[in-house]
Amino acid sequence: MTFTLKISERTEKGKKLQALRAEGKLPAVVYGPKHEAMTISLDAKEFDKIFKEAGESSVLVLTGAGEDIEVLVQDVTYSPVKSRVEHVDFYAIEKGKEVTVNVPLEFTGEAPATKLGGSLTKALHEVEITCKPAKLPHEIVVDVSSLNTFEDSILVKDLNVPDGVTVTNDPEETVAFVAEAKEEEEEPVSLDMDAIEVEKKGKEETEEETEK
């Protein structure tokens, strides 16, 4: 799926950016190894809508400022007061070059081992992959229905990734497993013998004084 955003080159900087945001525009910058840094603006609502769907691991196409530019979202700055996006850095991709990005894992299915009293543990929530931009998946689906016992686990090497996509994490790294619920053991009561002797001696002295 192709995500497209219309942009305009901008000259506003510093305090003038507040007026730009008040008009519903979002200031941004585009840069890359083969792309000279360019200051731009785009529709804030349109970016919010597409970013929620595409995330940081999808290729976006910027149009409206000359030649179309394929980019990844490099960084998003939020307002600490209004919790809205204030600025975006786009990383321009070199055509024909592979990219390395983090892609989220989407867990699906039900692990049979959870019915034995265990709980599903997701050790990883994303993995690093390398591929051509056209091959970049939005997410990698992990089916946990193969976790039948507490000894079963899903490793990075078990992930089902599309052709042309390479996961750069350690192949033996654990992705998910079902942890067995452990019964809490009662801590043994430790008797302080010195305290008992002192208490015993105190009682004996009290009884002696009473008898007197």
How confident is the prediction along the chain (212 residues), in pLDDT tens digits per residue? 678 999 999 988 888 888 889 999 999 999 988 888 999 999 999 999 999 888 777 889 999 888 889 999 888 999 887 778 999 999 998 877 888 889 999 999 999 999 998 899 999 999 999 998 888 888 899 999 999 999 999 999 999 999 999 999 999 999 999 998 776 555 555 555 555 554 555 555 544 444 44
- CATH at 187: 2.170.120.20
145 and 82 in one domain? no
Burial group, residue 131, by CB count within 10 angstroms (0-12, 13-18, 19+): buried
The H or E element spanning position 140 is strand 140-143
112 and 88 in one domain? no
104 and 81 in one domain? no
122 and 89 in one domain? no
Domain boundary among 94, 123, 145: 94
Work out how many domains the chain is built from and give that number.
Answer: 2
Domain boundary among 55, 72, 94: 94
Domain boundary among 71, 94, 117: 94
